[in-house]
Structure 1
Amino acid sequence: MAWTVWRAVACSGLVVLAGCASTAGGVRQLVLSDDGLSEIEAPRSWETRPNFSANADIRLADAMGDNYLLVNTYLPEDTREMPLDEFGSRLSGALLKKMDQGRMSAPRALKLGERPAIEYELRTKAGDAAIVYLSTVVEGASARYHLIAWTVADGDLAGLRQVMATFRESAARRAGVERVPLVFDWPQRLKSQASFQLKSSKRGEQYEMRGESQMSLKPAGEDELLVSTRVTRHQLSGALGGGQDKEKEAYLQSVVKATLTELPDYVVNTDGEFVRIENLQAYHRRVQEALLKGLPTGNRDAHAKARQMVQSMLTEETLAVSLQGEWDQLVGNWAGGSYAPGQTYSFTVPYQAPALERRSFPMLMTQQLVGHVPCHAAAKGKACVRLLQTTRVAGPEYTQAMSDYVRKTAGGDVRVTEMEVISTVELIADPKTLLPYATSKKETKRVTVSAGGSSRTSEDVKETSSSYRY
Structure 2
Amino acid sequence: MSRFFRAVSTLALAGLLTRCATSSGAGGTAAAGDAVPLRFAWPEGLTVQVSSTDTTTQSEQAPEHSELSYQLRLEGKGEERKLITEEMKPTAPAATPEEGPPPPTPAMVLGPQGELRRIEGIDQVVQQMAQEAESQGLPQEQQAQITKLVRDALEQATRLRWEVLVGKWNGLVLKPGEAVERKGQTTVPLFGSNVATVEHVSLKEHVPCTEGAKEKRCVRLVLESSIDQAGLAQATDQLLGKVKAVMKANMGLEDQALPELKVTKLRLDSTLEFIAEPETLVPHRQRTVTSSQVELQEPDADPKNFDIQSERVETFTPAGH
Fold-level similarity (TM above 0.5) = yes
CA contact (8 A) 2:22 2:163 kept: no
Following superposition, the deviation at residue 399 of structure 1 comes to: 1.4
The corresponding residue for 1:363 is 197
Amino acid at match of 1:263: T
Q: Distance in 2 between matches of 1:52 and 1:426?
A: 19
> Structure 1 or 2: larger strand share?
1
The corresponding residue for 1:280 is 122
Counterpart check, 1:458 vs 2:306: yes
The corresponding residue for 1:415 is 262
Structure 1 pair 375/409, CA: closer, same or farther in 2 (3 Å)? Answer: closer
The corresponding residue for 1:195 is 51
Structure 1 pair 310/390, CA: closer, same or farther in 2 (3 Å)? Answer: farther
1:51 aligned to which of 21, 26, 31: 26
1:226 aligned to which of 58, 82, 96: 82
Q: Distance in 2 between matches of 1:12 and 1:258?
A: 10
Counterpart check, 1:406 vs 2:243: yes
Structure 1 pair 16/223, CA: closer, same or farther in 2 (3 Å)? Answer: same
Q: Distance in 2 between matches of 1:304 and 1:469?
A: 45
Amino acid at match of 2:58: K
Following superposition, the deviation at residue 223 of structure 1 comes to: 2.5
Following superposition, the deviation at residue 435 of structure 1 comes to: 0.3
The corresponding residue for 1:432 is 279
Aligned ranges for residues 172-187 of structure 1 at < 5 Å?
178-187=34-43
Q: Distance in 1 between matches of 2:142 and 2:197?
A: 30
Q: Distance in 1 between matches of 2:15 and 2:175?
A: 35
Aligned ranges for residues 41-120 of structure 1 at < 5 Å?
51-52=26-27
**SS of the counterpart of 2:126?**
helix
Gaps of 5+ in 2: 1-11, 248-257
Structure 1 pair 223/420, CA: closer, same or farther in 2 (3 Å)? Answer: same
Structure 1 pair 412/8, CA: closer, same or farther in 2 (3 Å)? Answer: closer
Structure 1 pair 180/288, CA: closer, same or farther in 2 (3 Å)? Answer: farther
Counterpart check, 1:214 vs 2:71: yes
CA contact (8 A) 2:186 2:195 kept: yes
CA contact (8 A) 1:258 1:287 kept: no
CA contact (8 A) 2:130 2:143 kept: no
Following superposition, the deviation at residue 414 of structure 1 comes to: 3.2
Which of structures 1 and 2 has the bigger CA Rg?
A: 1
* TM norm structure 2: 0.75
The corresponding residue for 2:168 is 333
Using CA pairs under 8 Å that are at least 6 residues apart, name the structure with larger relative contact order, 1 or 2: 2
Gaps of 5+ in 1: 1-6, 19-48, 58-175, 241-248
Following superposition, the deviation at residue 12 of structure 1 comes to: 5.6
Q: Distance in 1 between matches of 2:199 and 2:43?
A: 29
The corresponding residue for 1:323 is 158
The corresponding residue for 1:263 is 105
Q: Deviations over 1:341-400 (max 9, x none)?
A: 0112222235699xx9x9x85321110101100000132211100011122236233113
The corresponding residue for 1:376 is 210
How many pairs were matched up? Answer: 289
Identity %: 20
Q: Distance in 1 between matches of 2:72 and 2:241?
A: 40
Question: RMSD across aligned C-alpha pairs, in angstroms?
Answer: 3.7
Following superposition, the deviation at residue 11 of structure 1 comes to: 2.7
Q: Distance in 2 between matches of 1:421 and 1:187?
A: 36
